[in-house]
């Protein structure tokens, strides 16, 4: 079986999940892997359900969409309920702490992480929640290297926000460590 | 050893890069999801290379201005999606009859009408062939990846310049919005064709006169000093309207022959696993990727399934598909509509093979497993 990881980032429009997906895919390319990013969103500009999908592989990728995800990130309650069914039985759910879990008696691994709260309170900008989430995903899965992810983030974020985004990544790493030690 | 750039790029973005590489200097359009990135990028990039971008008042005007830009001598493109593709149809026919080279990109979304603006579809495949009234020449290409989007956009410009005809680039939301790894070829690796211009600048120029044995008249640009009349009426060599049945017949047959006599130059396709196949999957656009995944899974189960990728949608790759039915007696056509291209397959293979359709119109891509299930059903 080829080494292929399928990741679904879900939440609401405006949370920067599509950008997060692009950054993750670009980091994979920097690591010399193959990657495809795709997305789905509603006709509205903000607030509708939004998801970004990333497939990272050592081989060519034919079907560009994620069917059963190895990893699901859920930043809203709505996204959690909509996409949890598509997580593999042995997958990983990374879910924001402010979302109430329905059922914790599942085969997949659950990591409850205060992504949005940390972004707004510790980093001081709720809008970097997507970058905090990428930090968590990297630390939990090793799907991209730390170096590649940082380079990919810095390439995509607006000038003047580099330090802020680096801090957001570091916060993600810390959160992942803390939640793994629980 | 290569200094080519490797990038993560969206299909729509690759379309713009391909157009610029082919020499596009003019874009007119009216932004519409899921093609908007094409307009957006053209607005940023064309001024940098000395080109022009105009956002027109509507889709119809976008098509008209694209024709105008080309008549003035610039390689011109417009992009749209379903509702806009419908509105552009009359002027696409005008470009075909007046022999104005231009590229029209349709990033297909689920219709009819406004439909599902952000969801993929391949519902405009027959419209590409028959959307504008009257018999008319059609070239339509459909890429399955970001790299192919780059390459086929270059090809679309080249064919339009070579045959003085509008060329349709049929993307779908899957390929248009997907981002994947692309190695961009260097400019000196890309073959670019420019329209043939009149040799001498004098009063003997006739905009619609072809040399003996030729089908494509040399094309002067407005403003270069040539007398040149353009009309959507049937016209003589000067471009002036004519009601003469002989003139009309000769003109229409010639513009059809430009395509029909050059099918080998225009039609491109690829095939895999066809040597011993008992079933052929014929696919195009974003759905091809699902088909390839399904074919690989089927092969790993020992099922003898082959794969045909139609990159040129129109004209239909008739000769090769007919040939394949010498040995393959079943053909499955998965597509994001309720069975359009499959009708052309049926027409071409007649009774030499059983033809099956797998259609989907709920706004989601056809999954490899859905195709695999159909493969098991028909084999």
User: Do A62 and B178 lie within an 8 Å CB cutoff?
Assistant: no
B82-92 residue pLDDT tens: 999 999 999 99
Residues of B with Cβ-Cβ distance to A25 under 8 angstroms: 8, 179
Nearest to B181 among A35, A39, A67 (CB): A35
CB-based contact, B297 to chain A, within 8 Å:
no
CB-based contact, A155 to chain B, within 8 Å:
no
Which residue, A75, A55, A77, A79, is CA-closest to A67?
A: A55
The enclosing domain of A152 has a CATH number of: 3.40.920.10
**Considering chain A, what is the average pLDDT of its residues?**
92
Å from B176 to nearest chain A CA? 10
For B237, the token pair is: 């060599």
Asked whether residue B262 falls in the same domain as residue B283, the answer is no
Asked whether residue B100 falls in the same domain as residue B194, the answer is yes
Nearest to B289 among A29, A39, A64 (CB): A64
Which residue, B287, B374, B281, is CA-closest to A64?
A: B287
- Region B7-31 average pLDDT: 98
HSE on the CB side for A79, CA within 13 Å? Answer: 27
Nearest to A42 among B118, B181, B286 (CB): B118
Looking at B216, B249, B266, the residue that finishes a domain is: B266
Residue A50: closest CA among chain B residues belongs to which residue? B118
Tell me: ipTM over 0.90.
yes
| pLDDT above 80 (res B187) | yes
How much of chain B exceeds pLDDT 70, in percent?
99
| pLDDT above 80 (res B1) | no
CB-based contact, B289 to chain A, within 8 Å:
yes
Asked whether residue B109 falls in the same domain as residue B221, the answer is yes
User: A107: domain range?
Assistant: 4-180
**Rounded Cα distance, B324 and B326, in Å:** 5
- Region A131-137 average pLDDT: 98
For B229, the token pair is: 């009349």
SS3 content of chain A, % helix, strand, coil (to 5): 45, 25, 30
Q: What is the DSSP secondary-structure string of A6-25?
A: EEEEEEETTS-HHHHHHHHH
pTM comes to 0.96
3 state SS of B288: helix
What is the structure's pLDDT at B197? 94
What is the structure's pLDDT at B199? 85
| pLDDT above 70 (res B144) | yes
pLDDT-derived band at B350 (thresholds 50, 70, 90) equals very high
Find where tokens 């905090």 sit. A132
User: How far is CA B102 from each of CA B24, B67, B165, B254, rounded to the nearest angstrom?
Assistant: 9, 7, 7, 19
- Region B294-321 average pLDDT: 98
What is the structure's pLDDT at B327? 97
CB-based contact, A64 to chain B, within 8 Å:
yes
Looking at B266, B299, B324, the residue that finishes a domain is: B266
Asked whether residue B119 falls in the same domain as residue B230, the answer is yes
- Region A148-177 average pLDDT: 96
Find where tokens 């599942």 sit. A106
Among A125-129, B308-312, B370-374, the range scoring the smallest mean pLDDT is A125-129
Nearest to B118 among A29, A34, A40 (CB): A40
User: Do B177 and A38 lie within an 8 Å CB cutoff?
Assistant: yes
| pLDDT above 90 (res A47) | no
Total number of residues shown for chain A: 182
What is the structure's pLDDT at B344? 98
User: Do B180 and A63 lie within an 8 Å CB cutoff?
Assistant: no
Which residue, B33, B48, B46, B36, is CA-closest to B76?
A: B46
pLDDT-derived band at B228 (thresholds 50, 70, 90) equals confident
Which residue, B99, B103, B364, B62, is CA-closest to B230?
A: B99
The enclosing domain of B211 has a CATH number of: 3.40.50.970
More confident residue, B223 or B330: B330
User: Do A63 and B367 lie within an 8 Å CB cutoff?
Assistant: yes
B203-226 residue pLDDT tens: 889 999 999 999 999 999 998 888
- Region B337-348 average pLDDT: 98
- Domains identified in chain A, total number: 1
Alpha helices, DSSP H, located in chain B: 11-22, 36-45, 59-71, 82-98, 125-130, 146-163, 173-177, 245-260, 263-266, 285-300, 318-324, 341-349, 368-378
HSE on the CB side for B182, CA within 13 Å? Answer: 26
- Region B190-198 average pLDDT: 96
CB-based contact, B149 to chain A, within 8 Å:
no
Asked whether residue B255 falls in the same domain as residue B345, the answer is no
Instruction: For chain A, give the longest Cα–Cα distance.
Output: 44
What is the structure's pLDDT at A1? 46
What is the structure's pLDDT at B129? 98
CB-based contact, B296 to chain A, within 8 Å:
yes
The enclosing domain of B331 has a CATH number of: 3.40.50.920
What is the structure's pLDDT at A44? 61
User: Do A67 and B367 lie within an 8 Å CB cutoff?
Assistant: yes
Give residues with Cβ within 8 angstroms of B207, minimum separation 6. Answer: B217, B219, B220, B226, B228, B229, B230, B237, B238, B239
User: B325: domain range?
Assistant: 268-378
Find where tokens 């970001």 sit. B146
Looking at B266, B299, B318, the residue that finishes a domain is: B266
- Domains identified in chain B, total number: 2
How many C-beta neighbours within 10 Å does residue B260 have? 13
């Amino acid at each position: 079986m080829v080494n292929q990881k399928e990741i679904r980032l879900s939440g609401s429009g405006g949370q920067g999940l599509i950008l997060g997906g692009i950054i993750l895919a670009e980091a994979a390319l920097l690591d010399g892997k193959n990657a495809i990013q795709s997305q789905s969103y509603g006709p509205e500009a903000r607030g509708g359900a939004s998801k970004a999908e990333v497939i990272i592989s050592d081989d060519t990728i034919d079907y560009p969409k994620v069917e059963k995800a190895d990893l699901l990130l859920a930043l809203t309650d709505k996204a959690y309920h909509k996409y949890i069914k598509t997580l593999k039985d042995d997958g990983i759910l990374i879910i924001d702490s402010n979302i109430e879990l329905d059922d914790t008696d599942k085969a997949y691994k659950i990591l409850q992480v205060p992504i949005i709260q940390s972004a707004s309170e510790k980093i001081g900008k709720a809008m970097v929640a997507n970058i905090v989430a990428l930090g968590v995903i990297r630390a939990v899965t090793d799907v991209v290297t730390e170096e590649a992810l940082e380079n990919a983030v810095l390439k995509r974020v607006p000038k003047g926000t580099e330090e802020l985004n680096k801090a957001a990544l570091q916060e993600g790493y810390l959160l992942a460590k803390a939640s793994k030690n629980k | 050893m290569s200094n080519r750039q490797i990038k993560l790029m969206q299909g729509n973005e690759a379309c713009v890069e391909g157009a610029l590489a082919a020499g596009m200097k003019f874009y007119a359009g009216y932004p519409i999801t899921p093609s908007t990135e094409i307009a957006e990028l053209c607005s940023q990039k064309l001024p940098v290379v000395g080109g022009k971008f105009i956002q027109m008042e509507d889709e119809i005007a976008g098509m008209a201005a694209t024709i105008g830009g080309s008549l003035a001598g610039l390689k011109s493109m417009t992009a749209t999606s379903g509702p806009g593709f419908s509105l552009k149809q009359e002027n696409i026919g005008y470009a075909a009859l007046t022999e104005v080279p231009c590229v029209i990109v349709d990033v297909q979304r689920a219709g009819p009408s406004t439909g599902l603006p952000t969801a993929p579809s391949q519902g405009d495949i027959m419209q590409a062939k028959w959307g504008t009234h009257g018999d008319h020449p059609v070239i339509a290409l459909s890429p399955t990846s970001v790299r192919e989007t780059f390459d086929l956009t270059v090809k679309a410009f080249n064919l339009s310049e070579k045959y003085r005809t509008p060329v349709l680039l049929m993307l779908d939301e899957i390929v248009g919005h997907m981002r994947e790894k692309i190695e961009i070829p260097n400019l000196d690796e890309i073959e670019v064709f420019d329209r043939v211009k009149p040799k001498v600048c004098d009063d003997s120029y006739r905009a619609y006169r072809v040399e003996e044995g030729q089908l494509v008249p040399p094309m002067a640009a407005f403003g270069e000093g040539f007398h040149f009349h353009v009309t959507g009426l049937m016209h003589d060599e000067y471009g002036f309207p004519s009601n003469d049945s002989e003139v009309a017949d000769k003109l229409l047959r010639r513009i059809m022959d430009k395509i029909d006599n050059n099918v080998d130059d225009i039609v491109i396709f690829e095939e895999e696993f066809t040597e011993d196949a008992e079933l052929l999957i014929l696919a195009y656009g974003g759905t091809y990727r699902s088909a390839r995944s399904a074919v690989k899974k089927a092969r790993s189960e020992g099922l003898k399934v082959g794969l045909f990728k139609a990159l040129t949608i129109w004209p239909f790759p008739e000769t090769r598909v007919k040939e394949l039915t010498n040995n393959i007696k079943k053909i499955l056509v998965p597509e994001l509509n309720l069975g359009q291209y499959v009708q052309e397959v049926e027409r071409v293979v007649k009774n030499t093979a059983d033809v099956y359709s797998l259609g989907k119109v709920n706004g989601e891509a056809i999954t490899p497993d859905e195709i695999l299930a159909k493969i098991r059903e028909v084999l």
